[in-house]
């Protein structure tokens, strides 16, 4: 069950709609009613929302769920409203051209109220270096460690067990969930959300071959760059962003990373690019703005992807992409025996190509 606001905190429907209108979305009730205006305590799905929650319809396939919907109000488009059957309904209709976006904005509003209700201040078990600069209204949870030279902007929150390494910077109004680790010299912009277990600034994977017998096969390359994160970035649980070898690894403004993603050293990710879970990006790759990388895609190192490139799930990108568009390289699955037969044919494509060219030359 979602956490609901207390009844005395719940806004009336028209007050809640102001939040979306202030954000630039044009939304309004579809019609007037003689019934008292509902007070909205939270959000819910069409199938589960109760009489004090607001829901939304963005997928026409879910239209039938409106028949048994118990929500106080439902956000939908004008076209969806016109398609409603005649007769009484238990919910109010809120018209909006982008119901899913309006739902997202309202969810943010409710979540801010939830966070504002949490305890603020610095827990007595937190260890904070005397040289750290802590902004106004910052909350630091139990067992956190804040090292020398750290600066934390106003209104930011650190959950239990977070570690902020020396000379790192956290902007205003950031939220670090439990056990986030920032190594030294990591810079995080304003309004970032970092989920539990994410690690920013671990060493990049850099080793030089070392033929000397007494030192082993590899010599470690010290990673002396840092990590720079822009504003409005969200990084998922257990995602890692390695520090640069010489210059910083950079995530631009508005970048969104899902859980369990690996960003290698010296990678640059452009503004508003989003990546789904289990993506791997090898070192020194440059990804443009507004790209989307679907789950489990792999990007080789030292590549350049243009702006507005969209990579399908499971795709391996092994060369640079200069043209915007969608790119897919997933071999279809099949029963194992059939897959083996197809793979055997694919392994002979180069030979078959040579034979075909020889035949064409003979005929000509």
Find where tokens 């209108």 sit: 21
Closest CA to 26 of 130, 99, 135: 99
Burial bucket for residue 194 (CB in 10 Å: 0-12, 13-18, 19+): buried
- Give the E-state strand segments of 114-251 in sequence order: 127-128, 133-134, 139-140, 145-146, 151-152, 157-158, 163-164, 169-170, 175-176, 181-182, 186-188, 193-194, 199-200, 207-209, 218-220, 227-229, 234-235, 240-241, 249-251
CA 188 – CA 13 distance, rounded (Å):
36
CA-based Rg of the chain, rounded to a whole angstrom? 26
Name the active-site residue from 177, 195, 265, 268.
265
Contact assessment for residue 132 and residue 114, using Cβ atoms and an 8 Å cutoff: no
* C-alpha distance across the termini of the chain, in Å: 74
CA 250 – CA 228 distance, rounded (Å):
5
Report residue 328 as tokens.
């897919």
CA 315 – CA 300 distance, rounded (Å):
11
Q: Is 265 a catalytic residue?
A: yes
CA 102 – CA 21 distance, rounded (Å):
9
CA 164 – CA 183 distance, rounded (Å):
6
Contact assessment for residue 240 and residue 198, using Cβ atoms and an 8 Å cutoff: yes
Which residues are annotated as catalytic?
Answer: 265
């Amino acid at each position: 069950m979602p956490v609901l606001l207390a009844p005395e905190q719940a806004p009336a429907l028209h007050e809640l709609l102001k939040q979306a209108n202030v954000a630039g979305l044009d939304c309004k009730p579809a019609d007037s009613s003689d019934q008292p205006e509902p007070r909205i305590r939270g959000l819910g799905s069409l199938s589960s929302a109760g009489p004090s929650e607001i829901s939304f319809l963005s997928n026409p396939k879910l239209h039938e769920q409106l028949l048994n919907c118990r929500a106080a109000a439902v956000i939908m488009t004008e076209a969806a409203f016109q398609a409603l059957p005649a007769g009484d309904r238990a919910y109010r209709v809120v018209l909006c051209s982008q119901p899913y976006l309006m739902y997202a904005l309202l969810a943010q509003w409710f979540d801010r109220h939830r966070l504002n209700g949490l305890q603020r201040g610095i827990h007595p078990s937190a260890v904070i270096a005397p040289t750290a600069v802590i902004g106004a209204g910052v909350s630091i949870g139990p067992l956190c460690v804040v090292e020398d030279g750290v600066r934390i902007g106003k209104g930011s929150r650190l959950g239990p067990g977070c570690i902020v390494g020396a000379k790192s910077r956290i902007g205003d109004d950031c939220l670090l969930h439990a056990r986030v680790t920032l190594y030294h010299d990591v810079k995080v912009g304003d309004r970032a959300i970092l989920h539990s277990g994410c690690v920013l600034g671990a060493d990049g994977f850099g080793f030089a071959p070392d033929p000397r017998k007494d030192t082993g096969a590899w010599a470690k390359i010290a990673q002396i760059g840092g990590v720079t994160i822009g504003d409005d970035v969200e990084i998922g649980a257990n995602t890692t962003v390695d520090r640069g070898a010489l210059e910083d690894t950079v995530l631009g403004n508005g970048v969104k990373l899902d859980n369990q993603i690996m960003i290698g050293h010296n990678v640059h990710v452009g503004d508003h690019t989003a990546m789904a879970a289990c993506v791997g990006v090898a070192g020194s790759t440059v990804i443009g703005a507004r790209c989307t990388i679907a789950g489990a895609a792999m990007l080789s190192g030292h590549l350049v992807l243009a702006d507005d490139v969209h990579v399908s799930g499971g795709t391996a990108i092994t060369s640079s992409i200069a043209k915007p568009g969608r790119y897919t390289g997933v071999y279809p699955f099949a029963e194992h025996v059939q897959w083996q037969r197809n793979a055997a044919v694919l392994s002979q494509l180069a030979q078959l190509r040579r034979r075909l060219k020889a035949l064409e030359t003979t005929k000509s």
